[in-house]
Structure 1
Amino acid sequence: MADEFIKGLGIFTAGGLGWMVLAGWYRTESFESSQQLVAPVSLSDSATMFDTMGVLLMDTFFWFTIIGALTFWVLIPVVRQAREVIQDGS
């Protein structure tokens, strides 16, 4: 169980840090506003390919963080417990 926890924590930390860095670049218009990191992305017409890739990577980091952590913290332990119950019941 500790192995799954640390894998989930690593995914949560790395993915969350990646998302926070990119969200700080692309979602924070000013540091005086109350919508830091959660404001809608506003790319100008002069957005480069790297800006587009950054926004795509930001969304990828977000979902990797959520799905990866839930997989190691919830899904894998539930499957293992269900396997044990099925094998003990047979």
Structure 2
Amino acid sequence: MADEFIKGLTLFTLGGLGWITFGGWYRTPSYYDLSQLFGPAQGVNSVYDEIGVLAGDAFFWLMIVGPIVFWVLLPAGRQLRESMADDAAN
């Protein structure tokens, strides 16, 4: 269980750092603006900027989905598989 926890924590940390980095570059027009990191993309003029915005969105979803997979879905699937094996043995 410890390896699933650290994998989920790693994905959460990497996703969060990437999302904050790309969000700070492309989605934060001002330090005093209330919609930091969630506002519309600013100054997207080239393909590289579009890739940066897409990478920020990918890091956000990695931050959300990664821990859910390793902390909820995999242990639940393992528990379900053990329960089904116990039922088949009886």
Do both proteins adopt the same fold according to a TM-score greater than 0.5, normalized to the shorter chain?
Answer: yes
Q: How many residues align?
A: 88
Q: Kindly provide the CA deviation profile for residues 31-89 of structure 1, in whole angstroms up to 9, marking residues without a partner as x.
A: 01111111111345xx1221111001111111122121111011100000001111111
TM-score by length of 2: 0.90
1:22 corresponding residue in structure 2:
22
User: Where does the alignment leave 5 or more consecutive residues of structure 1 unmatched?
Assistant: none
Q: TM-score, normalised by structure 1?
A: 0.90
Q: C-alpha distance in 2, partners of 1:32/1:60?
A: 26
% identical equivalent positions: 51
Consecutive unaligned residues of structure 2, counting only runs of 5 or more, are none
Equivalent position amino acid for 2:68 in 1: L
Q: CA RMSD in A?
A: 1.1
CA distance in 2, matches of 1:60, 1:37: 14
Which one is further off, 28-37 or 73-82? Answer: 28-37
Query: What CA distance in whole angstroms lies between the structure 1 residues aligned with 2:3 and 2:42?
Result: 40
